[in-house]
Amino acid sequence: MASHWVISLIDNLWAGWRMDFLQKVDEPDHLRSPSRCILCDLGKGAGEGFNRDNYVIHRGRTCYMVLNVFPYAAGHLMIVPYVHEGDFVNLDNEVLIESLDLARAAITVLKNIYNPEGFNFGANLGRAGGAAFGEHAHFHVVPRWLGDTNFMTTLAHSRVIPEALSQTYDRITQQLKVL
């Protein structure tokens, strides 16, 4: 009975920031951004350091790290090659090695900040594989906790992220400076 009462309190959960994304879900990847790829747009400026406005937290030689603006959990990061390539098998070894190095750094930092009980690390390859940007391969690092899929996700198909992206950005960039 109590769970019915809780659910009725959240019949309307406002998440207006998602509308722009939802309206573009069925568009081909190359129509999503004026320059054809939002991940390429974010990657511009290699070597210029952080970009707080777009949540880019690290720029490497072949890849950059960015907060996912539609996170599954607080601290959800993406590692994105600068090269516009959708097929994982076509990424060269230098990109793959740096991707793994950045994943290791991301996991280290996220452990220090959030003390998660586990991680999801991987890639959704191609649109059919669940990739929102199937024409640009990228990797996800998601901190996880036992029981972090609560009734909101299960019943309301909504995620509750307990921290603003700007606060997550500040915490992660501060920890990266320590590494």
**Positions marked catalytic:** 138
Residue with tokens 């054809």: 36
Exposed / middle / buried, residue 132 (Cβ in 10 Å: 0-12, 13-18, 19+): middle
Exposed / middle / buried, residue 141 (Cβ in 10 Å: 0-12, 13-18, 19+): buried
User: C-alpha angle with apex 88: 49 to 92, nearest 5 degrees?
Assistant: 65
Backbone angles phi, psi at 175, to 5 degrees: -70, -35
- Rg of the chain over Cα atoms, rounded to whole angstroms, equals 17
Strands (E), 26-167: 56-59, 63-67, 77-81, 118-122, 139-144
Q: Which two tokens stand for residue 132?
A: 């929102």
